C-alpha cells in the first residue's frame, strides 16, 4: 500500500506539472505565431520590392510583360523589339527579347539582342552562359558577328562542350565542331572590328587546331604587335611556315 500511495502526486505537484504544460503549449503557439508573422512580413516586403521595380520599369516594358503573361507572344515580341531599340544596353530587356525570339522562332530579327547577350555575359565572366547564348545565336542567325574578344572568351567553354559531347542529340560532336570552326572564322572576319594583336593571339592559341585557315589570319595579326614576346613570335612564324594556305601549297 505504501508503494501505491507514493506514486500519487500531491495537489501542488499536479498544479506545477499543469503549469509547465500550459507554459510549453503557450510558448509553442507564440513561436508559431511569430513565424507566421515573419513569413507574412517577408512576403509583403517581396511584394513591395516587386511593386517598386514595376513602378521604375518603363511603361512599354510593362505592356510587353503583360502581353507575355497573357500568352500573346507575338505582341510581346514586337513590344520588346521596340523597347530594345530604345534601351539596347539594358540586359533585362535584351534577355526577355531574346527568349521571346527563340520561343517565337524569330531569332534572325532579334540577333542584335543575341549578340548583346553574348558580349555582356562574356565580359562579366559568365563564359558558359555566354557560350550557350552564342550557340543559340549561330543557329538562329548564322551570319551574326559577336566581338572577337567575346569569341576568344567563349572558345574554351565551347571546346569543353565538345570534349563532353557525343554523337547523340542536337549538339553532337560533328555539329559542335562545325560551330567551333564558325566561331574562329567569325573572329577574324574582316567585317568584325576589334581584332587587335592581343586578342588575335588568343584566337590563334585556342583555334589553331580547330580552324587552321582562319587561325592563320589571327597569327598574322598577332605578329603585328611590337610588344610580342620573341619566343611567341618565333613560334608563330614557325607555325605559319608549316601551315601554308591552299593557294601557297599549290605553288
What is the tens place of the pLDDT at every residue in 206-229?
999 999 999 999 999 999 999 999
Across the range 129-134, mean pLDDT stands at 96
- 229: alpha, beta or left, given left = phi > 0 and alpha = psi -120 to 50? beta
Using pLDDT thresholds of 50, 70 and 90, give the confidence band for residue 151. very high
- Distance separating alpha carbons of residues 183 and 134, to the nearest angstrom: 9
Q: Which of 160, 153, 193 lies closest to 176, judged by CA?
A: 160
Residue 246 pLDDT exceeds 50: no
More confident residue, 177 or 45: 177
Residue percentage of the chain with pLDDT more than 90: 49
The per-residue pLDDT for 244 is 63
Helices 148-163/197-207 angle, 10° precision: 10
More confident residue, 23 or 143: 143
Which is more confidently placed, 149 or 168?
149
Q: Write down the pLDDT at residue 153.
A: 97
**What is the chain's mean pLDDT, rounded?**
80
Report how far residue 237's alpha carbon sits from residue 230's, in angstroms, rounded to the nearest whole number.
11
At 12 the pLDDT is 63
Helices (H), the chain: 2-6, 11-56, 59-69, 73-86, 91-104, 111-123, 127-140, 148-163, 173-187, 197-207, 212-222, 230-242, 246-250
d(CA 80, CA 84): 6
* Model confidence band, residue 62 (pLDDT cutoffs 50, 70, 90): low
Question: Residue 127: which residues within 8 A CB-CB, separation 6 or more?
Answer: 121, 153, 154, 156, 157
Q: Where are the domains of the chain?
A: 144-246
User: Tell me: the pLDDT tens digits for 78-110?
Assistant: 888 888 998 888 988 899 889 888 888 889 999
Q: Where residue 118 falls among pLDDT bands split at 50, 70, 90? A: very high
Amino acid at each position: 500500500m505504501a508503494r501505491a500511495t507514493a506514486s500519487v502526486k500531491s495537489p501542488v505537484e499536479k498544479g506545477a506539472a499543469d503549469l509547465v504544460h500550459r507554459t510549453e503549449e503557450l510558448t509553442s503557439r507564440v513561436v508559431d505565431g511569430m513565424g507566421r508573422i515573419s513569413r507574412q512580413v517577408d512576403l509583403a516586403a517581396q511584394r513591395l520590392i516587386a511593386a517598386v521595380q514595376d513602378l521604375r520599369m518603363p511603361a512599354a516594358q510593362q505592356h510587353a510583360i503583360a502581353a507575355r503573361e497573357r500568352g500573346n507572344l507575338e505582341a510581346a515580341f514586337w513590344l520588346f523589339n521596340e523597347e530594345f531599340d530604345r534601351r539596347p544596353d539594358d540586359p533585362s530587356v535584351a534577355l526577355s527579347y531574346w527568349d521571346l525570339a527563340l520561343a517565337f522562332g524569330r531569332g534572325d530579327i532579334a540577333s542584335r539582342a543575341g549578340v548583346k547577350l553574348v558580349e555582356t555575359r562574356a565580359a562579366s565572366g559568365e563564359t558558359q552562359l555566354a557560350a550557350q547564348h552564342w550557340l543559340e545565336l549561330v543557329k538562329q542567325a548564322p551570319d551574326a558577328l559577336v566581338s572577337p574578344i567575346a569569341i576568344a572568351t567563349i572558345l574554351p567553354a565551347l571546346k569543353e562542350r565538345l570534349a563532353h559531347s557525343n554523337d547523340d542529340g542536337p549538339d553532337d560532336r560533328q555539329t559542335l565542331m562545325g560551330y567551333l570552326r564558325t566561331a574562329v572564322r567569325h573572329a577574324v572576319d574582316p567585317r568584325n572590328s576589334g581584332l587587335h594583336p592581343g586578342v588575335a593571339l588568343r584566337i590563334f592559341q585556342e583555334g589553331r587546331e580547330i580552324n587552321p585557315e582562319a587561325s592563320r589570319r589571327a597569327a598574322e595579326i598577332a605578329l603585328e604587335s611590337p610588344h610580342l614576346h620573341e619566343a611567341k613570335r618565333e613560334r608563330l612564324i614557325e607555325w605559319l611556315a608549316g601551315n601554308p594556305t591552299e593557294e601557297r601549297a599549290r605553288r
